[in-house]
Homo-oligomer: A and B are copies of this chain.
């Protein structure tokens, strides 16, 4: 029977430590100010923003939301980013996804100052990630590594299979796991025969966003299964993994909810604090 990788618990533990760090920063007059730009009225974005705000408040980080209209122009968005880049008080900036169609997201991301790029999505921070001289890490990937470390699961020489090649999860996670000496395969919607890869994975990470994608027959005995999927089904939140089926087979498995989700939010706050410290040379 698989052991649960308790992301919620670890997130709480790390939040406790982070709170102390923030206290310490504030004593020195440094106030981590985190700005989120939200464009339009996507309902799940609203939910994420609320969760982030709550977590931020718990560790003592001030989160400001800049709410733009659904039909906001690219120009106005860039002007706002410029303003936040120049504002000495702002430590971290992120753009809440998804954005409306008229927004050129890549251009907007390039506009964020790398020194305030909480999500590690600006070109130079992505490049530093792949070169191994990074200081900011994408929240989900950072959270996954923290969880593996906490349970002392070594990556060196392990066969890691990642499903999903997004800029926010799959690709940066591949970079960080390669750096830890894992052998990494990146699978995606165009991959034929997913199971031929997954069945050999020592560590399987699913970030496909597809409920029930990973069934027991696709998982190796004693594998570590990390479920990054967040899918709504019949009013419930479930992952990509058929949890009940895979649990008996896996050595370790993350639940959904309570696995990677809470760690992602917590890791985001850690990045805000890291940027604040760096900005002030500590």
Q: Which residues of A contact B (CB under 8 A)?
A: 106, 122-131, 133, 156-157, 159, 165, 167, 171, 174, 178, 181-188, 190-192, 196-197, 200
Are B183 and A190 in touch, CB under 8 angstroms? yes
Give complex CA distance A78, B269 in Å: 35
Are A190 and B156 in touch, CB under 8 angstroms? yes
CB distance from A162 to the nearest CB of B (A): 10
Q: Which of B127, B133, B165, B186 contacts A127 (CB 8 A)?
A: B127
Q: Could you list 24 examples of A-B contacts with CB < 8 Å?
A: A106-B133, A122-B124, A123-B124, A123-B126, A123-B128, A123-B131, A125-B127, A126-B127, A126-B130, A127-B127, A127-B128, A157-B190, A157-B191, A157-B192, A159-B192, A178-B186, A183-B186, A183-B188, A183-B191, A183-B192, A184-B185, A185-B185, A185-B186, A196-B200
Are A186 and B188 in touch, CB under 8 angstroms? no
Report B-chain residues with C-beta under 8 Å of the C-beta of A182.
190
Are A171 and B130 in touch, CB under 8 angstroms? yes
CB distance from A129 to the nearest CB of B (A): 8
Give complex CA distance A6, B125 in Å: 38
Give the nearest-CB partner of A167 in chain B: B131
